[in-house]
Amino acid sequence: MGKAQSRQIRGCRATGMREAALLLLLHREPAHGYTLLEQLKEFGLREISSSVIYRALRDMEARGWVASMWDEEQTQGPPRRVYCITNLGGQVLALWVQDLEESRKRIDYLLRAYDRHVEKRKNGHH
């Protein structure tokens, strides 16, 4: 399929949703990547593959937003990491939240502009 056709409309997510959701979950309580993978569904983020989550977690750790250690209690499977949010991570979460608020405003504006425009058309103001 050519380059021109490649971009599809597909569940347009706000950039930053993933990070914000992860940080929020970890702000509630420490968790493992595998658990977070499940919990993210709460936020309606469409299927995110596991490797993406794990990578996001490692990146956030490199930035100091979260910290991790291997879990001691052994469970049904190989050892797993527990991630905790850091103080910095909490602050960053607050920033993401502010950004999302602005995003929402912009989306609102566009949607209203669209409605107004469609409305006008219906009323015959070609």
Partner DNA sequence: ACATACTATATGTAAAATGTCAATAGTGGG
Partner DNA sequence: CCCACTATTGACATTTTACATATAGTATGT
- Collect all residues with Cβ–Cβ distance below 8 Å to 25 and sequence separation of at least 6: 31, 36, 39, 40
Q: Which stretch binds DNA (CB under 7 A): 49-57, 91-99, 101-109, 113-121?
A: 49-57
Selection from a second copy, DNA, none that 4 binds (CB < 5 to 8 A by kind) is: a second copy
Looking at residue 65, the DSSP 8-state letter turns out to be S
Residues 9-38 binding DNA (CB under 7 A) are 15, 18, 32-35
Q: Which of 3, 63, 78, 1 is nearest to 33 (CA)?
A: 78
Nearer to DNA, 8 or 123 (CB): 8
- Beta-bridged to residue 69, according to DSSP, are 82
- Collect all residues with Cβ–Cβ distance below 8 Å to 67 and sequence separation of at least 6: 61, 83, 84, 86
Rule CB under 7 A: choose which of 28, 63, 75, 118 binds DNA. 75
Q: Which stretch binds DNA (CB under 7 A): 68-76, 87-95, 101-109, 112-120?
A: 68-76
Q: Which of 51, 47, 33, 40 is nearest to 18 (CA)?
A: 40
Residue 32 CB, shortest distance to DNA, in Å, is: 4
Task: Confirm or reject binding of residue 99 to a second copy (CB under 8 A).
Answer: yes
| Site for DNA, rule CB under 7 A | 3, 6-8, 15, 18, 32-35, 48-52, 54-55, 57-58, 71, 74-81
